[in-house]
Amino acid sequence: MQQEIIDEKFFDYEAELEKALSHQTNEYLVIRAGRANPHILDKISIDYYGVPTPIKQMANITVQEARILCITVWDASQVKNVSKAIASSDIGITPSDDGKVIRLVFPQLNEERRREIVKQIKKIAEDTKITMRSARRDIMDDLKNMKKDAQISEDEFSSLETDVQKLLDKYCDKVDSTFNAKEKEILEI
């Protein structure tokens, strides 16, 4: 019975770590790195007949060239609304449209802007690690309570504590490798 409870706690712990890692990856997708990236539009919604609708649900988004994103809105009457929504968002790119297709031209990033973006992604990585350490603290509190209530022995607790730390280290390494890959992408000219 105790082993089932411990297994469930570890399952929940690993799910929390995976969720934090997934959040980091999703945050990195929307960061502009000087290349056309369709995911930069993921958080932008348009009021489409009274319903907030993401752009990707109402248009084809394609990468025309390395630094040009083309958005073909299926409902031509919404091209202006989509263009306005992109212009008023915080992505820092001014859209140009010809009435049918919206184009986003990603400018080449200068060195200063690249360094700012690296600081931003480093903060996201650190926040991810903080979330993971918080999940470790939660499972360790649960295990300490089980030890205090004599549900597990001191040796079992020590072994479980090592397992918890090993799992955290594994996920922190994944956070670092994701950060390093994104940093390399941003600093690449």
Residue ranges per structural domain of the chain: 2-30+110-187, 38-105
Query: What mean pLDDT is predicted for residues 131-135?
Result: 94
Query: What mean pLDDT is predicted for residues 3-18?
Result: 90
Query: What mean pLDDT is predicted for residues 125-140?
Result: 94
Domains 2-30+110-187 and 38-105 share a fold: no
- Burial letters for 81-106: b for 16+ Cβ neighbours within 10 Å, e otherwise? ebbebbeebebebebebeeebbbbeb
Write down the CATH superfamily of domain 2-30+110-187.
Answer: Ribosome-recycling factor (1.10.132.20)
Confidence band, pLDDT 50/70/90 cuts, at residue 1: low
Confidence band, pLDDT 50/70/90 cuts, at residue 114: confident
Q: What percent of the chain has pLDDT over 90?
A: 30
- pTM as predicted: 0.71
CATH number of this structure's domain 38-105, picked from the four choices 2.40.430.10, 2.20.28.270, 3.20.20.100, 3.30.1360.40: 3.30.1360.40
Helix H segments across the chain?
A: 2-29, 79-88, 111-148, 154-187
Does residue 87 or residue 188 have the better pLDDT? Answer: 87
Residue 33 has what pLDDT?
A: 66
